[in-house]
Copies of this chain bind each other. A is one copy, B any other.
Amino acid sequence: MRKIQVKIPSCPKSSYCVAVGSGFLSEVLPQIKKAMPGKELFLITDANIAKTKHLKNFLGRQQLPRFIISPAGEKSKNIKTVIKIIEEMEKRTLGRDCAVIALGGGTVGDIAGFVAAIYKRGVPVIQIPTTTVSQADSAIGGKTGVDSSISKNAFGAFKNPAAVFIDVRTLETLDKEQFNTGLVESIKHGLIADEKYLKYLQKNLKAILARKSEPLEYIAVKNCQIKASVVEADPYEKNKRRILNYGHTIGHAVESASNYKILHGQAVAIGIIAANIIEQKRGLADEKRLEELKNLFAKLDISLKIPKSITKKQILDAVKRDKKAVKKWPPFVLLEKTGKVLCRNDRFAHNVERKVVEETIDILLRQK
Contacts and interface: CB of A to CB of B under 8 A. Distances in A.
Nearest to A143: B121
Interface in A139-179: 143-145, 148-151, 153-158
A157 B117 contact: yes
B326 A95 contact: yes
Interface in A90-122: 90-91, 93, 95-97, 114, 117-122
Contacts of A323: 95-96, 120-121
Contacts of A151: 90
B10 A95 contact: no
B157 A90 contact: no
Contacts of A149: 87
A320 interface: yes
A332 to B, nearest CB: 15
A120 B156 contact: yes
Contact of A118 (B38, B150, B155, B326): B155
Question: How many copies of this chain are found per oligomer?
Answer: 2
Nearest to A117: B157
Nearest to A39: B326
A114 B11 CA distance: 22
Counting contact residues on chain A (CB < 8 A from B), the size range is 35 or more
B150 A91 contact: yes
A322 B120 CA distance: 10
B153 A121 contact: yes
B157 A121 contact: yes
A193 to B, nearest CB: 23
Contact of A90 (B13, B86, B150, B326): B150
Contacts of A95: 322-328
Interface in A49-85: 79, 83
Nearest to A158: B121
B322 A122 contact: no
Contacts of A155: 86, 118-119
A7 interface: no
Nearest to A115: B155
Contacts of A13: 10
Contacts of A91: 150
A156 B91 CA distance: 17
A86 B145 contact: no
Given A118-B118, A118-B156, A120-B156, A97 B148 contact: no
A222 interface: no
Across the A-B interface, the 6 shortest Cβ-Cβ residue pairs: A121-B156, A95-B325, A90-B150, A120-B323, A97-B326, A118-B155
26 contacts: A10-B13, A11-B11, A79-B83, A87-B148, A87-B154, A90-B148, A93-B320, A93-B321, A93-B325, A95-B324, A97-B325, A97-B326, A114-B118, A117-B157, A118-B118, A119-B154, A119-B155, A121-B143, A121-B144, A121-B145, A121-B156, A121-B157, A121-B158, A122-B158, A122-B236, A157-B157
